[in-house]
Amino acid sequence: MNKINGFDFTPYVNAVIAKGMSRNDALVSLEDLKVILSGPTDRDVALTIGADEILHEILADEAGLRRLSAMIGGPSYIIGHDGGCFMSARFDAAWEETRALMSAHGVMLLADYRSDKTGGIRAAGVCVRASVSVAA
């Protein structure tokens, strides 16, 4: 997470709060997103529902997205986002990456995301953070 310590997530957290997420849930989701973004850039990492909501706000801000992406992977890296692989083998593998990352930070996620019907902020979102290289 050290790579992104200087990034200001405040506007994105405020945006999800303005859309109805509680402040506590937004702050927990932000910490989850930071863990997910710290994951390997060469593999997909699944997003939790709360982390995905914040990432959507970042994706809507091209300048912010480019700044954050460059902090993570350099000038030719952009945070990718794929919502088309939920409940697939690709998502299963990405969810295992997320579970390992979160476990290393003391957060235990359900192994079988398909059985989680809570819809809470730490349930599986439908999207994965994918890595994309672009021309600088």
E strand map for the chain: 45-48, 77-82, 124-133
Q: Which residue has the tokens 């990456």?
A: 97
| pLDDT score at 57 | 97
Which tens digit of pLDDT belongs to each residue from 72-120? 999 889 998 888 889 899 999 999 999 999 999 999 998 888 888 777 8
| pLDDT score at 116 | 82
What's this model's pTM, rounded to 2 decimal places? 0.91
| pLDDT score at 39 | 85
| pLDDT score at 45 | 92
| pLDDT score at 49 | 94
Nearest alpha-carbon partner for 95 in 76, 69, 123: 123
Higher-pLDDT residue of 24 and 125 is: 24
Which tens digit of pLDDT belongs to each residue from 4-59? 989 999 999 999 999 999 999 999 999 999 999 988 888 899 999 999 999 999 99
CA–centroid distance for 24 within its chain? 17
Q: Which residue has the tokens 């999207």?
A: 127
Residue 11, domain extent:
2-133
Number of domains in the chain: 1
| pLDDT score at 135 | 57
